[in-house]
Amino acid sequence: MKVAINRCFGGFGISNVAFEKLLDRKGIAFDRVEPEEGRSFIGGSYYDAGYAGVDEHYLSDYDMTQDRADPDLIAVIEEMGKEANSWAADIAIVEIPDDVKWHIHEYDGLEHVAEDHRTWS
């Protein structure tokens, strides 16, 4: 199984171009809304096609990349390479055995895949 992780401090995130490719692969029609002039926001915002100014139609790359083993996400990252990275990410694909129960362990944005096990504290 392939899993996407971030290999630098900062945090996992994909570029706007990668997010658009992910939406296309999933068949989700979207509108990109450019930020208002004077806002410090970088890039655009994405909404379901037909956006009517309501935030409930907001499409979030954070929400759509929570499944790091998502075949569409993996395909976009493999296709784009480093161009799939957001400004604060260095995304890598790691392979783990299919029968392993796993989770992503993160410290300050730097991630690795760990096998599930019992812990107490």
Provide the whole-model pTM: 0.89
Do the Cβ atoms of 67 and 73 come closer than 8 Å? yes
Do the Cβ atoms of 86 and 14 come closer than 8 Å? yes
**Whether the predicted pLDDT of 106 surpasses 90:** yes
**The two structure tokens encoding residue 108:** 């300050």
Neighbour tally for 63: CB within 10 Å:
8
pLDDT tens digit sequence for 21-39: 999 999 999 998 877 776 5
Nearest to 21 by CA among 79, 60, 63, 70: 79
Instruction: Write the burial class of residue 54 (CB in 10 Å: 0-12 exposed, 13-18 middle, 19+ buried).
Output: exposed
Mean model confidence pLDDT for the chain: 91
pLDDT tens digit sequence for 42-63: 667 899 998 877 778 899 999 9
